[in-house]
Amino acid sequence: MKPGYLYLAIAIAAEVIATSALKASEGFTRTGPSLVVAIGYGVAFYFLSLVLKSVPVGVAYAIWSGVGIVLIALIGWWFLKQPLDAAAMVGIGLIVAGVLVIQLFSKTSAH
């Protein structure tokens, strides 16, 4: 795996952790979850900035946001018991398909 994509995986993981803690922060009134949010987003943006040294910004952002959306939706469904209807599932499938198309077929992502 190229370092850029390792950094992208770290950025995605940090963003997902931070976003998952947002609800628990209760509008930044709880210190622990609020710190997780702030540190998580700081780590996410730091590693995303490293990604942009070797991966085009459009590709990096598409993968970062797409994978993040899917993971957050699944975390909401699994842990927070937030339902996903058929339209949401189709949308998530399209996002996954889009990320796969970029990774498997785009020459842009190979830079």
41-65 pLDDT, tens digit per residue, is 999 999 999 999 999 898 899 899 9
Please list the ranges in the chain whose pLDDT falls under 50: none
The pLDDT assigned to 2 comes to 77
Number of domains in the chain: 1
The pLDDT assigned to 111 comes to 52
Contact 62, 102 (CB under 8 A): yes
Q: Which two tokens stand for residue 39?
A: 């540190």
pTM to 2 decimals? 0.86
CA gap 24, 35 in Å, rounded: 11
Q: Please give the residue range of the domain that contains residue 64.
A: 3-110
Tokens 């947002």, residue located: 22
Q: Which two tokens stand for residue 14?
A: 């940090």
Contact 6, 43 (CB under 8 A): no
CA nearest neighbour of 15 among 65, 75, 54, 84: 65
